[in-house]
A and B are shown apart, each in its own frame.
Chain A
Amino acid sequence: MTIGVVKPDKGKVFVNNIDVAENPLEARKIVGFMPEEIVIYESLKIEEYLSFILSIYGIKVSEDKVNSIIRLLGLSEHLDKFIGDLSYGTKRKVLLASLMLREPKALVLDEVFTGLDPVAAKIVKTWIREAADAGVPVLISTHVLPIAEAIADRVLIINRGEIVAEGKPGELKEIFGAKELEEVFLKVTGYSPEYEDVIRALYR
């Protein structure tokens, strides 16, 4: 919805004052979108994919910058392989590299930490924090609540398409009397202890 692929049922979506439904192309130029599904050309190599993406956006970057990001994400040793031959996590790193090189004015990241090793996850957390501190709006969707708790300024919990809780992680924990955000989530989404009985019965 933030890049105009899916139209909203009602209301409007604005990114940096751009009405996305009215002007999806402009939205796509400024939004760095990382889908949960790996959407990439598997028959290209890393350099070829990055060249293609940067050509489409018309972004010229120095080779030093390209190489520093490639090294940062541990992609240097995979340059001669086809993307299709890379592991799930490495493919996601290629997508991340394309976003980092673009320096988008807004970030929409869907399950961005999936498949990443701890080092890469730390790098991405730092990148997100730096972008947010520089005034770039960052929207992350995740099911891993410790991550949301660690990096989010504001959290929205959505259950069956409805926002059921909204606020700073600390505020939400205080309101629901919870120690962790996960506990808040379970409370607002109606987790039933009976689920655990079903699981326990499996090996009996």
Chain B
Amino acid sequence: MTLELELARVLAREVSYRSRRSFGKRGVFGFMLGEYKPSAVRANLVGASVFTLISLLISAVLLIAPPSAAELLFSGIYSGLMIMGLFIVLLTSIGFTSVYVGERLVDLLVMFPLDERTIAEAYLLSLFLYWGGASVLFIYIPPLIAAAFKAVDPVLLIAALLASIILIVFGYALGLGLGTYAQLVRKRSILRGLATLAWLIVFVAFYSAGQLISYVSEVMSLAELSVAAYIPFIGMLFIKNNPQGAFFSAVLSVALLGISYRFAVSRLGVLTGRVQAGLLKVRAPILAKPRGIKERYAEISVESSIKGFISKDIKLLLREPRRLASILYFVVFPFIAFLPELTTRNPSLTSGIWLAIFLGVCGLAGGIIGLTSETLYYIEGEGAKVLYYLPITRRKLALAKAGSIFPIATIAAFTLAILVSVALGDVYLGLSIFILIVSSAFSTALICSSLTVKYLPEVPSAWTEATISRAFQLVVKLAVILALIAMAFILPVGILLIYGSKYLRIVPLLESAILIPAGLVIFAVAAESKPL
């Protein structure tokens, strides 16, 4: 086991280094850990603490609940935590495996006389011990303790424990299998689309779970919730209310576990470097070009340098599903936040405090879309060194990166504007939101991008993804977000209180009039006209 542990440490360190180059951060809480040092305690400590804290806060409700409601409440809380745990497991395992496969780390291992079992064990130990995979277990401890304290039926506790164990193993097996497709995803546009959608679902579920759960609970009655007993994994928690359904759920869960296990085993060869040996045979000299090689006429499109940059950035972004999804999350954020109001065509959204809040959320979402311009520096990857050989200034680079956010923000703003115009029958409000999102996004993109280029290294050899300081980015983002929150919410609420509801319609124009000059000033000061 010593060899496997040593290999696991090396693998974790290598994945950490490569993922910093490719993703800019490591794992779910990697940004909090700084430079990676392989230690099982260190790797799991932050995750375990955060998960325990979140779980503790949620589970605390159980302690104050009346005994009669404790079991149903426990089932509900534990279901939510199980779903959250599944997404964490998927994030961790897919992220780790995709870097491991994408960076061909197995090539480093197969050079040594190591058998497949040793490599597989090293991989799993690396994922669980040194990548923080074990920390997810801590999410389940507080509700179980709280339930035991409230004397919840032990049958339910055992069912919950079993369900969570099955779900975790299922999640890791699924994540392992899916992560091995990392290289294939880059090559096939359909898989890229699916991967982007999957990541978007993960982000929405992870960050907007509260909104979605409250929305579902609003549209579903308690009676309908008994159907939940038939849902795999979480259905087992409803064993007291619907034993038949819970049994069905258990059977389905075990079947899904079996499928995911088979899937993971079938993909294990990718992780261990198992390859089928080809036959080597001597061939006659080839004088003619081999058949079957497709050649075609190349098409080149030369645009202005800024357009060329934007076109390149968009292409790079479209080929990175995880990063694209992280931007798209903020695009769909306003839709999720106001899903009930928009789907029920709630007219209160067009006036008063709701309108003020709606405008605030849209302004904030636009601003955050702009802040994701940082992602456009990360997608450069190792290719960023190209920038140092080109005749471009830091100023032009900052403008190009901010410009790349423009089409994304425009699509988001346009879609929301159309939705608002149709759902609420208020075209003027739709137009206002369009202006608000686009101007906020472009301004914050310009601010973030101008400050980023200022601190890019002087020489290409100094470039790694880690060069863009996470701490610096965090400070910039926090400062901009705080300013945005202050403006996006205080301005409309202030206008509402002082001048009344009808003047709220000028908020987008006012915000644009503040944000755009602010962005331009920072651009003029920070983005210098010197080359990289």
Contacts and interface: CB of A to CB of B under 8 A. Distances in A.
B301 A51 contact: yes
Interface residues of A, number: 45
A57 B382 contact: no
Contact of B302 (A5, A51, A84, A85): A51
Interface stretch (A28-36, A117-125, A129-137): A28-36
A110 B316 CA distance: 27
B502 interface: no
Contacts of A53: 390
B389 A33 contact: yes
Interface in B346-395: 379-383, 385-386, 388-393
Nearest to A98: B386
A5 B388 contact: yes
B383 A39 contact: yes
B459 interface: yes
B390 to A, nearest CB: 5
A143 B10 CA distance: 34
A28 B303 contact: no
Contacts of B393: 25
Interface residues of B, number: 40
Interface stretch (B155-163, B272-280, B307-315): B307-315
Contacts of B312: 41, 44, 48, 52
Interface stretch (B114-122, B290-298, B416-424): B290-298
Contacts of B385: 37, 39
A14 interface: no
A70 interface: yes
Nearest to B391: A28
B391 A56 contact: yes
Contacts of A128: none
B298 A56 contact: no
A62 B383 CA distance: 26
Interface string A158-185: 0000000000000000000000000000
Interface string A48-67: 10111111111111010011
A69 to B, nearest CB: 9
Nearest to A29: B391
Interface stretch (A74-82, A144-152, A187-195): A74-82
B460 interface: yes
B308 A42 contact: no
Interface string A76-105: 110110101100000000000000000000
Contacts of A106: none
B316 A52 contact: no
A58 to B, nearest CB: 6
B308 A4 contact: no
B293 A77 contact: yes
Contacts of A4: 531
Contacts of B531: 4, 24-25, 28
B49 interface: no
A69 B490 CA distance: 60
B14 interface: no
A44 B311 CA distance: 11
Given A41-B312, A44-B312, 16 more contacts: A28-B391, A40-B386, A41-B383, A41-B386, A43-B186, A43-B320, A47-B298, A51-B303, A52-B311, A55-B301, A57-B391, A58-B304, A58-B305, A59-B302, A66-B300, A67-B297
Interface of B: 186-187, 293-305, 307-309, 311-312, 315-316, 319-320, 379-383, 385-386, 388-393, 459-460, 531
9 contacts: A40-B383, A42-B382, A43-B186, A50-B300, A53-B390, A55-B301, A63-B298, A70-B298, A79-B296
